[in-house]
């Protein structure tokens, strides 16, 4: 977690509950304006995704869930 995120959380927790709700709705509007479908990823998330895909990552729709034994080493 970044220092700014920690700072925001501490400030958020200092607010009365009603003001926390207002802050939450405001941040939610910012996020939805930036990414209405929650599909964008941060640079750090992109790095994790890229590393997972290069490591032999298998999409869940490619897995034969009825025959998992074929994936055992």
- The beta-carbon contacts of 37-42 under 8 Å, at least 24 apart in sequence, are none
On whether the pTM is more than 0.75, the answer is: no
pLDDT tens-digit series, residues 31-72: 899 888 878 888 899 999 889 888 877 778 888 889 888 877
Mapped onto helix, strand or coil, the DSSP state of residue 41 is coil
Please report which confidence band the pLDDT of residue 73 belongs to, taking 50, 70 and 90 as the band edges. low
Give, in order, the Cα–Cα distances in Å from 73 to each of 63, 68, 69: 15, 11, 9
CA within 13 Å, CB half, 61 = 0
* Domain extent listing, the chain: 3-56
Which H or E run includes 6?
helix 3-14
């Amino acid at each position: 977690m970044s220092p700014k995120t920690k700072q925001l959380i501490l400030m958020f927790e200092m607010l009365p509950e009603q003001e926390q709700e207002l802050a939450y709705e405001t941040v939610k509007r910012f996020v939805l304006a930036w990414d209405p479908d929650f599909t964008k990823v941060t640079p750090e998330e992109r790095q994790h995704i890229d590393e997972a895909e290069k490591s032999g990552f298998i999409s869940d729709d490619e897995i034969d869930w009825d025959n998992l034994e074929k994936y055992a080493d």
